[in-house]
Structure 1
Amino acid sequence: MRTGAAAGHEGYYHEAVPYHSDEELLAVALPFLLGGVAAGEPTVVSFGERTAALVRAAVPADSAVTFLPGGDLYARPAVAIRSYQRMLAGYVAEGAQQIRIIGEVPRAALGATWDWWARYESAVNHAYDSFPLWSMCAYDTRITPAPVLADVLRTHPRVATADGEHRPSETYTEPKVYLSEDRALLPDPLQSTTPLVELVDPSPTQARHAVYGTDPGTLRADEIEDLVVAVSETVTNALRHGRPPVRFRLWSGTDRIIVAVSDGGGGPEDPFAGLLPAAADGAGGLGLWITFQSCNHVTFNRAPSAFTLRLTAGNPHFSR
């Protein structure tokens, strides 16, 4: 049985919580969490350290609220979706008729990597709709840029406010529409320099060797291996599903390596590509899903004459 604002709703009940002060956040979070505990529902907090401490101090010490450590689920969007789906399925298997989660994306996600977190917020409307989930996504308006807040309202069907209101978002856009839109991406400053490597129509093996051969020791060994996996999948997809020529470019900085792979095609048709696994039917969706889990940022860029996938290993939170 569904309870609270989600009573009578089937599937995912997804709300944004734009708040202007700690008091406003608590005014929304505490009734949500304590209501879930009173109803015997799995009730979860997935906040960063500061916000989690604020909420933890406000709920009774013996309450059955689960605090996930440090917002760990929000490592990468595709990883977050996979982890949440596993957790939600576990609760349902235990008999949960509603699950409550309140969380926030990392503060760093509001900058250079917001594009793929915006895609995440849109995609989960579909990805979690088979679960009896009521979730709230909190955004501190004191630190959230206006364009990000606009995306938040477009990717959340509903908004919860400190005065107890639960209202539809006037600008909500269905995921298949939102995810199909082209949006401006922040160029990484490294890309204004000459690439260390440029290859045309490389084999996946050549692309892998290029990554290994140009690593200046900037990244950890596991980060290099993850990038090699992502590069191999990306070049394979471009050769198999794109249009020639396939162009490979690599840049290296003090804290990151960037690889851009372009081809003359239009990119994947699936609006959920990268965030959700596609069936292994030769459409290239599974390889892109692997790539999204292997890099710290992945961007799409559709131009009239080319589709480009940009992969970032290391620190993606560059300064403009």
Structure 2
Amino acid sequence: MSRRPEPSPSAGRAAAMRRTGFVHQALRYGSDVEFLGGTVDFVTDGLAAGDAVLAVVAAHNIRLLRETLGDGSRQVEFVEAGDWYDYPSRTLGRYHAYCDRHGPDRRVRVVGEPVWTGRSDFETREWMRYESLLNVAFADSRHWILCPYDTRRLPADVVRTAARTHPELDDGSISTAYADPADFSAEAERDARYPGSMPEAAEHIPITRDGSAAVRRALAAYARRAGLPEQRTYDLVAAAHEAVVNVLRHGGGQGVVRVHSDQDYVICEIGDEGAHTSAPLPDFPGHLPPGPRAPSGHGLWLVRQLSDLVTERLDPAGSVVRLYFRRPAA
């Protein structure tokens, strides 16, 4: 289970400068004035404290912040949200890389506004899980993330869920609806919007100790038939190979790959017959980048960075990892 981020010493901003642990807040706003009211002090306080400040927001909100901050905006790094929030695991990787570049001794403040429009129900649910997982990914840091939610445009359930994935609101008050990330993730998997079993018509490729090359060839051929670009075909094969290696090393040495495509994704599922010997798994394997000297954990991190979406059920009695690669628009 994750460690809950440090609660606010008070609801006022006077105490904000004294925060020392990780902070993750939701800003629900219904106007430009409310957006600026919740972000400008956050940014200027950070600059005054010597923090690195990153604003990943919609283009309209970038203009608002630049105009309001004036010369101070030159000290802020701005990124349009659509260029950053493509898929959850890669976005999490970008934030890790940004924080690493600024060193462990400097706090990073982020105004991070996920892109919710144009998402399927499944994708929306995965972005909700991403917001919850931030509480695990940065629990041991002292960074500060403020996530704006535009109540004028977002679905009510997205806005409502913000209080479950963020321990605090923007004024520093505790969210009484906050859910532990492990519990929230388990709820997501039971949600009706979560994908069900692979169809019977899915192509089956057996996993054997001497058959990994055959798996790679079969997957490459399928991906090309489904219209994946060549680079994404290589990525799918590489990600699936890492998952197959895990089956051979930790999953009993046998399993099956199932591959199927719908109108949006090429979907590759790797299942094993149960781990004979396996080290205890972390709560959220593959979501955090392993250290360069870590003996394990690199495979699932790579799988998540190469894939568009990943779901998993990891169990000693039999595990299933499912990889999603978006097909090009017709």
Counterpart position of 2:201:
194
Q: Does 1:222 align with 2:231?
A: yes
Q: Give, in whole Å, the separation in 2 of the partners of 1:52 and 1:109.
A: 22
- What SS does the aligned partner of 1:33 have? helix
Counterpart position of 1:311:
323
Counterpart position of 1:169:
175
What runs of 5+ residues in structure 2 fail to find an aligned partner? 1-12
Q: Give, in whole Å, the separation in 2 of the partners of 1:85 and 1:150.
A: 27
User: AA paired with 1:84?
Assistant: Y
Q: Does 1:68 align with 2:78?
A: yes
TM-score when scaled to structure 2?
0.77
Q: Tell me: CA distance 1:172–1:82, structure 2 relative to 1, closer, same or farther (3 Å).
A: same
Counterpart position of 1:273:
285
Counterpart position of 1:296:
308
Counterpart position of 1:204:
212
Q: Please identify runs of 4+ aligned residues in structure 1 that moved more than 6 A.
A: 279-282, 302-305
The offset of 1:190, in angstroms, is 11
User: AA paired with 1:137?
Assistant: C
The offset of 1:25, in angstroms, is 1.7
The offset of 1:174, in angstroms, is 3.4
For 1:6-85, list aligned pairs within 5 A. 6-61=16-71, 63-71=73-81, 72-85=83-96
What is the root-mean-square deviation of aligned Cα atoms in Å?
3.5
- What SS does the aligned partner of 1:139 have? strand
The offset of 1:110, in angstroms, is 7.4
Q: Give, in whole Å, the separation in 2 of the partners of 1:110 and 1:5.
A: 40
CA-to-partner distance for each residue in 1:6-38, whole Å, 9 max, x for gaps? 333222111111223333222211222233334
Q: Tell me: CA distance 1:178–1:188, structure 2 relative to 1, closer, same or farther (3 Å).
A: closer
Equivalent pair of 1:300/1:309 in contact (CA under 8 Å): yes
Q: Tell me: CA distance 1:181–1:286, structure 2 relative to 1, closer, same or farther (3 Å).
A: farther
The offset of 1:226, in angstroms, is 0.8
User: AA paired with 2:91?
Assistant: A
Q: Give, in whole Å, the separation in 2 of the partners of 1:172 and 1:146.
A: 17
Counting matched residue pairs gives: 308
The offset of 1:291, in angstroms, is 0.4
The offset of 1:68, in angstroms, is 3.0
CA-to-partner distance for each residue in 1:103-160, whole Å, 9 max, x for gaps? 1112245742234433332332233244432220112234434443454322211111
Equivalent pair of 2:272/2:320 in contact (CA under 8 Å): yes
Equivalent pair of 2:24/2:168 in contact (CA under 8 Å): yes
Q: Give, in whole Å, the separation in 2 of the partners of 1:166 and 1:189.
A: 39
- What SS does the aligned partner of 1:167 have? coil
Equivalent pair of 2:247/2:254 in contact (CA under 8 Å): no
For 1:79-118, list aligned pairs within 5 A. 79-92=90-103, 96=106, 98-107=107-116, 108=118, 111-118=121-128
Q: Give, in whole Å, the separation in 1 of the partners of 2:188 and 2:80.
A: 32
CA-to-partner distance for each residue in 1:56-95, whole Å, 9 max, x for gaps? 34432553342433233434333333332332233346x6
Equivalent pair of 1:89/1:131 in contact (CA under 8 Å): no
Q: Give, in whole Å, the separation in 2 of the partners of 1:244 and 1:143.
A: 49
- What SS does the aligned partner of 1:269 have? coil
Q: Give, in whole Å, the separation in 1 of the partners of 2:23 and 2:91.
A: 18
Equivalent pair of 2:66/2:73 in contact (CA under 8 Å): no
Q: Give, in whole Å, the separation in 2 of the partners of 1:135 and 1:224.
A: 35
User: AA paired with 1:127?
Assistant: A
Counterpart position of 1:241:
250
Q: Tell me: CA distance 1:265–1:57, structure 2 relative to 1, closer, same or farther (3 Å).
A: farther
Equivalent pair of 1:103/1:137 in contact (CA under 8 Å): yes
Q: Percent identity?
A: 28
After TM superposition, the structure 1 stretch with the greater mean CA deviation from structure 2, 185-194 or 197-206, is 185-194
Equivalent pair of 1:200/1:248 in contact (CA under 8 Å): yes
Equivalent pair of 1:73/1:84 in contact (CA under 8 Å): no
Q: Give, in whole Å, the separation in 2 of the partners of 1:119 and 1:33.
A: 26
The offset of 1:290, in angstroms, is 0.6
The offset of 1:304, in angstroms, is 11
CA-to-partner distance for each residue in 1:223-277, whole Å, 9 max, x for gaps? 1111111111112212332357622111134553111122344898321212113
Q: Tell me: CA distance 1:126–1:221, structure 2 relative to 1, closer, same or farther (3 Å).
A: same
- What SS does the aligned partner of 2:227 have? coil
Q: Tell me: CA distance 1:305–1:133, structure 2 relative to 1, closer, same or farther (3 Å).
A: closer
Q: Give, in whole Å, the separation in 2 of the partners of 1:187 and 1:14.
A: 26
